[in-house]
Amino acid sequence: MVSAVAYSTGHRAWGRVHRFAHRVVRPTSPHDARRALAAREGAPVLAFGLGRSYGDCCLNPEGLLLETRGLDRLLAFDGESGVVHCEAGASLADLLATVVGRPAPDGGVWFLPVSPGTRFVTIGGAIANDVHGKNHETAGSFGRYLVDFRLLRSDGRILRCAPDENPELFCATIGGLGLTGLVLEARLRLVSVPGLWLELEEVRFEDLEGFFRLAEESKEWTYTVAWVDCLARGRALGRGIFGRARHLRDPRPVPAPAPPRLRVPFDPPFSPLNRFSLQLFNALLFRRLGRGGRRHRVRPYHELLYPLDSIGAWNRLYGARGFYQYQCVVPREGAFRAIARLLDAIAASGQGSFLAVLKTMGDLPSPGWLSFPMPGATLALDFPNRGEATLALFDRLDRIVLDAGGRLYPAKDGRMPAPVFRAGYPRWPRFAELKDPVFSSAFWRRVAEGATEPARARAA
């Protein structure tokens, strides 16, 4: 089939900091995938879906990428139980366009149990990163809703993994960063919601205490999230807007989410997201709610859950050097102090970020051994890539996170040093035993195998 080995540099993660060469194949059936694995010629292998993880956990320099776009079929849907069976390359957008919204027996409609901030992620990617959403307090993470999945190992075996069959591989694969093999297909339990319209309330808070007070008062709301003004310091430190939403019992269908309208077709020569535009942006966002500091609206679900999906390739706004995202979670005990220290360090650095998102995480446990969420608070920020200055700031933030007993999110990461990973994920040695020997990623080689950091070398 493939006469010569051709390397492509076209596969990049969402942050666009790393540029590596890969061999690429796109299997279109389980049989095809097995054949592609057999023909790997010694190269390390990794699945690649829609490229929405930010750093290097979806990249495999000089290795083979198995594109999962060719394995994106929906196979079955049971309208009684809400279980959808699909190939792992199918995306949440595919489910939203088809089975979501169909009537459930209890009078509600079927809906995704957990959504990350974009609908353009594959089911395989959602499993591999055990993604969470704005409803973590009430729903937990994605892995909780998996009935089972089929995993292709490099020795050619296809294993059904479920809580009652190959349970260890089931737990290792959820949040396992694609390193336990190739997930071919999965069965996912949808949840019944009253309707597809959300009642949405936005409330201004003047400082970090205000955030934690609102989080405490919002237990009756399904979704919660806050935007924080990262440039505010002193008494205004941690001010922002708290958003909360819940499904309305409203039978009207929602308008289909528009396909990405605006496109960013090229890299601007310098990032338009500089310090001054950020100050302006944050100030406007903060004042949007007017004197009352509160706004109440009814909107279709996608406007709240996927606010950036209407802009194609928004990641290019950060310019040719790309950007990092830094997302950490800290345990509930001491969360206030840790978040305050993080925000202060970021404000002091002047490297403020376009999107600073703060939310609380709940107690519902994930089956995944390397799952990111823990009960507490998570902070996520984008940083344009300014090389060493940015990486030095991250090192300072790492110390605050580790002091608080927290950890970083591999899905967002392109630079986490090995000790930070190992401290945050104490179950990683057990995971390493179940990892498929042939599967690997730039991320894994850095955090587990002590590879020198390609991120740092190439980012400078």
Partner 1 sequence: MTNEREGLRVAVFGATSAIAQAALRLWAARGAELFLVARDRERLDRIAADLALRGARRVEAFVADLDDSSVLGRVLEAMDAALGVPDVALVAFGTLGDQTRAARDPEAARRTLTTNFVSPAVLLTALAARFEKAGAGCLAAITSVAGDRGRASNYVYGAAKGGLQTFLEGLRHRFAGTGVRVLDIRPGPVDTPMTAHMPKSGLPWASAERVAADILRAVERGRSVLYTPWFWRWIMLVLRHLPQPLFHRLRL
Interaction site with partner 1 (CB under 8 A): 2-3, 6-10, 23-31, 67, 70, 73-77, 87, 97-99
Q: How far is the CB of 28 from partner 1 (least distance, A)?
A: 5
Q: How far apart are CA 288 and CA 52, in angstroms?
A: 30
Q: Sheet with 64-67: list strands edge to edge.
A: 23-25, 64-67, 45-48
Burial (Cβ within 10 Å: 0-12, 13-18, ≥19) of residue 455: buried
For partner 1, the closer of residues 76 and 392 by Cβ is 76
Q: How far is the CB of 203 from partner 1 (least distance, A)?
A: 39
For partner 1, the closer of residues 84 and 393 by Cβ is 84
Q: How far apart are CA 89 and CA 121, in angstroms?
A: 9
**DSSP assignment of 189-205:** E-EEES-SEEEEEEEEE
For partner 1, the closer of residues 77 and 281 by Cβ is 77
For partner 1, the closer of residues 72 and 137 by Cβ is 72
Q: How far is the CB of 225 from partner 1 (least distance, A)?
A: 31
Q: How far is CA 60 from CA 21, 254, 315, in A?
A: 8, 40, 21
Residues 336 and 330 sit within 8 Å (Cβ to Cβ) = no
For partner 1, the closer of residues 67 and 148 by Cβ is 67
Q: How far is the CB of 29 from partner 1 (least distance, A)?
A: 5
Residues 6+ apart with CB under 8 A from 161: 148, 149, 150, 151, 167, 169, 170, 173
Q: How far is the CB of 66 from partner 1 (least distance, A)?
A: 10
For 322-459, strand residue ranges (E) read: 323-331, 356-361, 376-384, 407-408
For partner 1, the closer of residues 70 and 210 by Cβ is 70
For partner 1, the closer of residues 184 and 208 by Cβ is 184
Provide the angle, in degrees to the nearest 10, between the axes of the packed helices 335-349 and 208-217: 140
CA 116, distance to chain mean position in Å, is 6
Q: How far is the CB of 22 from partner 1 (least distance, A)?
A: 10
Report helix, strand or coil for 66: strand
Q: How far is the CB of 93 from partner 1 (least distance, A)?
A: 12
